[in-house]
Structure 1
Amino acid sequence: MLRWLAVIGIVILAHNHLHRVESLARYLAGQSCAVVIHIDKTASAEAADGLIAALASIPNIAFSERHHCEWGRFSLVEAALTASRQLLDSFPEATHVALISGSCLPIRPITELAAHLAEEPEADHIESVLVEQDGWVRDGLSAERFTLYFPFSFQRHRRIFDRFVDLQRKLKVRRQMPEGLSPHIGLQWWCLSRGTLQRIFDDPLLPAYKRFFKLTWIPDESFFQTLARKHSRHIINRPLTFVTFDNQGKPFTFYDDHLDLLTKCDNFFVRKIWPGADKLYEELLDPSRKSPDPATRSSDPMLKAVTRSVNLRSRGRPGLINQNRYTSRWYEQVFATARPYYVFDGFDRLFPRFLEGLRESEGLEMHGHLYAADKVEFIGDAQVFAGNLIASPPHRDYRPDQFLVNLVWGRRQILQGFLHDFGPSIRLRRHILRDPNAQIVRIAEGWMLAAYLHSRSQPDMEAVFFGLFRSERENLTKGFEEWDLKADILEIPLLALLNRPLRTARSIQTVLPPDTDIAPALSHIAVPEGFPEFLERMASEGFDIPEMEPLLAALRRQQKSDGFDPAKQIRRI
C-alpha cells in the first residue's frame, strides 16, 4: 500500500551569507521541496544576482519580489507574505508551506518531515499563545505590542521610539484589536497548511489587518500567529524549528561542536547556524545522512547545553571577571571567587613566626599582607604574580575586590591565604565577608594590637587609637554582625588565645587544609612591650575595653614567661 506524503514548500528569508543559502536551497530542492527565496534588499545587487544565476537551472526554486527588511518592522511580514503567495501560485502541488531563515538547517531528513505532515494534513505547526498568558517574551514589550502605536524604527530612531512609548503610556493610549482577532504571539518560524495560508490570503479583511499590524511592535511574532487562530482548523502549538534565546532575547547561535546534540533533536529544522560552521553544513546537508534511532531523539539535552552556555555568558564562571561582566549584587548566588581561600587577621602581631610557620607546611600558599598601605606582599616577594598581577598598591587599590578575585583565579588549582587587617577598607571588607569562599580566622581584639603598633610612630597616640576604636565598633563589628555574611568566620578572643593556647590551636586546625600544620605558626607568643600599659592608659581615658582586668593579667603573665613556646603542647593536636 502506498503511503501519501505531503509536498513541502519552503520559504527562505535570506539577507546575508548567500553562499550558505545556495547550499541550503540546493539540498531542499534535491529533496523535492518547492523553494521560494526572498533576498533582503540590504544584500548587495551583485550578491543577489550571483545567487539567482547559480540557482536558475533548478526548476523548483524561485525568487520573490525583494523588500527592505528591518527587525521589529512589518517589512519582515511583507516579505513572508509575498514569498508565500508566490509559492502557492507557482507550485500548486505544495500541501504545506514552511517559513525558515537563511541561517536555518534541516536536522532530520525531509522525507521524515513529509511523513510527519501527512499524519495530520490540515494541522498547522505554529507557536501561537495568548499574549496575556505568555512568558515567552524575554526582554521587551508584551501586551503593549498591540495596544500602542509603533511608527518609528527601534534601530534607527531609538530615542524617539522610547519617548513615543512613554508619551502614549502617559496619555493612556490603547489601540483596539480588529474585530474577530485576539492577540497571539509566538516564534517567527512556522509551517502552515495550504488551506490555512490560502484562507488568510482570501480574507477580505486582510488589508485592514495589515494596516493594524504595520503599527505593532515586532509583527513577525504576532501577525501569522494571530491570523492562524482565525483561519486554522487545527493548531499544533509547537514549531518545527528548534530556536532558543539567550537572556537578552537574541537567538542562540550553533557551532560545529553542537552537531551530536543537534542530530538527536526531535525538531526538523534548527536556527541559528554560524555561517562558518563548515561541519554542520557538510553533515546536515548530506542527502545520504540517516536519522538516529527515534527512541534516542530528544531536544532536552540540547536545551540543557544551551542553558549552561547562556548562564556562562550572562553570569560567568565563579571568579572569572572581564571588562564587560563584573561582579554584581544581582548575582549574589554566584560566588565572587573561584575557590576557597584563607584570611588571617591579627595573628602576625602576636606570633612573630606566624607567616613563616604556615609557609613551612604544605597545602596552603601563604602571602604576606597583600593590602598593606605601601606594598603588596606576594609569596616569595614576587613583583608579578599569576594572572599578571603586579605588586603595585595603586593598581591594587583601584579595585581591591577585583584584585582579590583575580588573585584566586590565577592560582585556582591550589589553596591560597594571606594576612589582612579588616579595619581600613570597608569596600574590601564587605566583599570578603559576603564571599562564601572566604575562610576567615581572626583574633577578635587584633585591632587593639594594630592601634598600639601604629601609635609608636604617631605623636597623637590617643587620636590614632580613637580612630581605630571607632572603626572597630561602628564599622568592623557592624560588618561582622549585621551584613549579609556568607564567609566562614572563626573569631578567637585574645584572652582565650593567651589562657588556652592548646584548645585555641585545635579550633584553628579544624578549619585549615589537612596538610597544613598550625603548630609552627603559633610558636613563640610575643606580646609587644608596653602593650598592657597602653591598654591601661586608654581605659583611663574612658575607652571601654571588654574583660580589661583578666586581659591585662594574661598579657603580663605571658610577658613574664620569657617567650613561652606553645608548640610543644600544640603538636599533640
Structure 2
Amino acid sequence: MTIGFVMLCHTALERASEVARHWAIRNCPVVIHVDRRVAVAKYDALVKSLADLENIRFSGRHACEWGTWGIVAATQEASMIMLQDFPTVRHVYLASGSCLPLRPVEELIAYLSERPRTNFIESVTTEDVGWTIGGLDLERFTLRFPFSWRKQRRLFDGYVRLQRRLGFRRQIPKGIMPHLGSQWWCLTRQTLSAILENPDRAEIDSYFSRVWIPDESYFQTMVRQVSDSVESRSLTLSKFDFQGKPHIFYDDHLQLLRRSDCFVARKIWPHADRLYQSFMGNEPGAQAIAEPNPGKIDRLFAKAVERRTKGRPGLYMQSRHPNENWENGRTAAPYSMFEGFSDLFENFEVWLGKATGTRVHGHIFAPDAVNFAGGEKIYNGAICNSTATRDYNPTSFLTNLIWNTRGERQCFQFGPQDNQTLIYFMAGDPNAQISIISGAWAIPMFHSNRNFSDIRREAARLQKIEAHFLNELRKPWVKARVRTWTLAEFVENPMEPLQNIVDEISPRAMRRLTEAPRLADLSGFGQFLQNLRNQGMQPALMGDFPTGDDPRPLHARRGRPYLVK
C-alpha cells in the first residue's frame, strides 16, 4: 500500500514538475490537473517533461477561478483517475503546484500506515470557525453567488445586499451539515470513493456548485457524512495573514519550515532555490521523526501579523498609513509642546535647553518659517525647513521628526499664529506633553509698534483660535499630558510650574532650579488689556491682571533672578 498525490497546478509548472517527479520516483502515483487558463504550450511542455514516468497521469482541464466550483470539479476528476488507475493507493493527498515536501515521503507513508483508517482534513462547523474573511460563514451556503468576487466585486457585494434585504435563502439539502476547513487534505480510499460514488452526488454537486468558495466546504462537509474517523487538521503547513491571503515562504524561512515538522508546505516562492534543494534532496532519516506540529511556529506568525497590523510605535508604513487609527502609537517617543513660553520669557529655548540637556526648537509650525534648534536648515532624517513641504502633510512632518530623533526628546514652541492642523493629532497623542500659558500671545502685540485698531482685530482672532484649542484639550478623548495656566497665574509664581516641566522632561536629573529665564517687560501690560476692553475686545484668556499696577514688583537691576534656599 502506498499514497497517491493529486496536484492542482496553475503557475510555476517547472517547480510542479520537480515535485511530481520527486514523488513519482519514490513509487507514489501522481495525478496532475492544470488550470484550463494556462497556455497550451506550457501545458504540453509539462506533459513532455514527465512522459518518462508511468505512474503520472493528467486529468481533464477545468477553469479554476478562485472561489468557484471549478476547483472542486478538478479535484473530483483527478481523484477518480487516482482511484481507478492505482488500486494500491490507500491514502490520497491533495496538494498544489506550489507545495513542497518537507520530509521524506517514506516518513509520510509510515505515518499513514500506522493510521490506515484516519482522514486528515480540517472540518469544523460554521459556528466554530474563526478564520472566515469577508463576513460570510453560514451565508455562503444559503445565498447565491453568480458574480466573481475578484472580477465583479461591486456586483458581488450588491447582489449579496439585495438577497439579504429580500430575505432570500437557499435550501440546504437534507442531511447536510455545512462544515468549513482548509482545502488541503489527505483522505483514505474508502472515504474518498464513498464521497465520489454517493448516489445523491448529482444533487449535492448541484447545490455546492453555487456555494461561495466550495473548495473550503465540499469535502469538509461530505467527509462527515461518510466517515467517523476524522482528524480535523491538515498535514500541510498553510498559513494565512489577517486579510486571509496565504503566506509565501522564501529561502530565509528554511529553519522555520523545519521546525514545523509538517510533511508538506504551501505556498513556496518558485525562485526559492535553497528551499527546493534542501528539502527535495532529503532521504529517510535526514530529519528526526516527529508528529506534525505547525503550532510550534504559530507564535512567530502571530508576531508577524501584529507587526504588520500595528507596526513599530510612531512608524507609519504602507500597510497601516491609509487606515486611520491603525497606528501603534501616533509618534515614536515623548515630546513637549510649549505655547506662550517664548512670548513670556526672553531666550526661553536657550534656557530650557540648558536646564534639560535637550535641543529645543522654536516655532516649527510658524506660517513663514520652520525654526529648528540652532537655526538648522536640514534636521535629522533629511527633514528640511521648507514650509511648503511641512504644510503638505504636517502630521508626517511631526511624526518623522520624532521618529528620526528617537532617544533625544524634542521640544518646540507653538502658538495661535502657527498652523493649527495638528491640534487634534497632538491632543490625542499619549506621547505629547502640552504646556500652555493662555493669553501670552498678547505680550508681543503689547511691545509692537502697530496701530491699536490692527492690534485689537489681531488679538480677537488669536484669542478665538487659542480658546478653541483649549476647549478641545478639555474633552474626554484627549490622551496628551496637558498643563494650562493663565498668564496672570503663571507670572505670579513661575518657578513651581517650570520645575515641574523640567522634572518631566529630564526626570533623572532631579535637581532644583536655581535660575529662571528672564521675564519679558510687563510694565503697563494691565493698562494695555484695559485699552483692549475699551475698544470693544474682551481679553478673557490672560487671567485677572490688575489695571494700572505691575503684576510683580520690578527692580532697577534686571539681572537673572535666583531662587534662594
TM-score norm. by structure 2 comes to 0.90
What CA deviation, in whole Å up to 9, does each residue of 1:291-341 have, x standing for no partner? Answer: 24749x753452222222223333333222246632754436x20112222
Aligned to 1:205: 200
1:244 aligns to 2:230 (yes or no): no
Map of 1:398-409 to 2, 5 A cutoff?
A: 398-409=392-403
Contact kept in structure 1, 2:416 and 2:462, CA below 8 Å:
no
Aligned to 1:3: none
Q: CA deviation at 1:41?
A: 1.9
Q: CA deviation at 1:168?
A: 1.8
Contact kept in structure 1, 2:492 and 2:552, CA below 8 Å:
no
Contact kept in structure 2, 1:149 and 1:216, CA below 8 Å:
yes
Taking the aligned partners of 1:161 and 1:34, their CA distance within structure 2 comes to 40
Which of 137, 158, 168 aligns to 2:163? It is 168
Aligned to 1:446: 440
1:99 aligns to 2:70 (yes or no): no
What CA deviation, in whole Å up to 9, does each residue of 1:160-188 have, x standing for no partner? Answer: 32232222222211101112211111111
1:374 aligns to 2:374 (yes or no): no
Q: CA deviation at 1:287?
A: 1.9
Taking the aligned partners of 1:25 and 1:431, their CA distance within structure 2 comes to 56
**RMSD value, Cα:** 2.9
Contact kept in structure 1, 2:369 and 2:387, CA below 8 Å:
yes
Matching residue's letter, 1:286: G
Of 185-194 and 545-554, more deviation after overlay is shown by 545-554
Matching residue's letter, 1:479: E
Aligned to 1:40: 35
Map of 1:284-433 to 2, 5 A cutoff?
A: 284-288=279-283, 290-292=286-288, 294=290, 298-322=293-317, 325-326=320-321, 328-331=323-326, 334-360=328-354, 363-421=357-415, 425-433=419-427
Taking the aligned partners of 2:516 and 2:132, their CA distance within structure 1 comes to 60
Taking the aligned partners of 1:40 and 1:310, their CA distance within structure 2 comes to 31
Q: CA deviation at 1:439?
A: 2.5
Contact kept in structure 2, 1:74 and 1:213, CA below 8 Å:
yes
SS at match of 1:38: strand
SS at match of 1:233: coil
Q: CA deviation at 1:452?
A: 4.7
Of 519-528 and 475-484, more deviation after overlay is shown by 519-528
Taking the aligned partners of 1:482 and 1:156, their CA distance within structure 2 comes to 46
Matching residue's letter, 1:487: A
Which of 128, 140, 147 aligns to 1:145? It is 140
Q: CA deviation at 1:431?
A: 0.3
Matching residue's letter, 1:510: D
Which of 551, 556, 564 aligns to 1:555? It is 551
Contact kept in structure 1, 2:527 and 2:547, CA below 8 Å:
no
Alpha-carbon spacing, 1:383–1:200, altered in 2? closer, same or farther (3 Å): same
Alpha-carbon spacing, 1:312–1:561, altered in 2? closer, same or farther (3 Å): farther
Matching residue's letter, 2:454: D
Taking the aligned partners of 1:245 and 1:518, their CA distance within structure 2 comes to 56
Of 438-447 and 367-376, more deviation after overlay is shown by 438-447
Alpha-carbon spacing, 1:388–1:543, altered in 2? closer, same or farther (3 Å): closer
Q: CA deviation at 1:349?
A: 1.2
1:504 aligns to 2:497 (yes or no): yes
Aligned to 2:176: 181
Q: Give the percent of matched residue pairs that are identical in Structure 1 and Structure 2.
A: 37
Taking the aligned partners of 2:514 and 2:250, their CA distance within structure 1 comes to 55
Which of 5, 13, 20 aligns to 2:15? It is 20
Of 412-421 and 493-502, more deviation after overlay is shown by 493-502
Taking the aligned partners of 2:156 and 2:406, their CA distance within structure 1 comes to 47
Which of 252, 263, 270 aligns to 1:268? It is 263
SS at match of 1:42: coil
Q: CA deviation at 1:250?
A: 0.9
Taking the aligned partners of 1:251 and 1:552, their CA distance within structure 2 comes to 75
Alpha-carbon spacing, 1:518–1:115, altered in 2? closer, same or farther (3 Å): farther
TM-score norm. by structure 1 comes to 0.89
Which of 132, 140, 143 aligns to 2:127? It is 132
Contact kept in structure 2, 1:13 and 1:80, CA below 8 Å:
yes
SS at match of 1:82: helix
Contact kept in structure 2, 1:338 and 1:408, CA below 8 Å:
yes
Q: CA deviation at 1:561?
A: 5.8
SS at match of 2:551: helix
Which of 147, 152, 163 aligns to 1:157? It is 152
SS at match of 1:331: coil
SS at match of 2:474: helix
Alpha-carbon spacing, 1:359–1:546, altered in 2? closer, same or farther (3 Å): closer
Contact kept in structure 2, 1:105 and 1:269, CA below 8 Å:
yes
Map of 1:74-93 to 2, 5 A cutoff?
A: 74-93=69-88
What CA deviation, in whole Å up to 9, does each residue of 1:201-255 have, x standing for no partner? Answer: 1101111111111111111111111111111231111111122222221111222
Q: Which runs of 5+ in 1 are unaligned?
A: 1-5
Map of 1:510-549 to 2, 5 A cutoff?
A: 510-513=503-506, 522-528=516-522, 530-538=524-532, 542-544=538-540, 547-549=543-545
Matching residue's letter, 1:416: Q
Of 120-129 and 258-267, more deviation after overlay is shown by 258-267
SS at match of 2:127: helix
1:278 aligns to 2:273 (yes or no): yes
Q: CA deviation at 1:485?
A: 1.8
SS at match of 2:329: coil
Taking the aligned partners of 1:95 and 1:455, their CA distance within structure 2 comes to 98
Of 282-291 and 16-25, more deviation after overlay is shown by 282-291
Contact kept in structure 2, 1:106 and 1:285, CA below 8 Å:
yes
Of 89-98 and 409-418, more deviation after overlay is shown by 409-418
What CA deviation, in whole Å up to 9, does each residue of 1:480-503 have, x standing for no partner? Answer: 111412222344554454343443
What CA deviation, in whole Å up to 9, does each residue of 1:41-62 have, x standing for no partner? Answer: 2222222222222222123322
Contact kept in structure 1, 2:363 and 2:418, CA below 8 Å:
no
Contact kept in structure 2, 1:130 and 1:185, CA below 8 Å:
yes
Contact kept in structure 1, 2:8 and 2:96, CA below 8 Å:
yes
Matching residue's letter, 1:27: H
Greater helix proportion: 1
Aligned to 2:481: 488
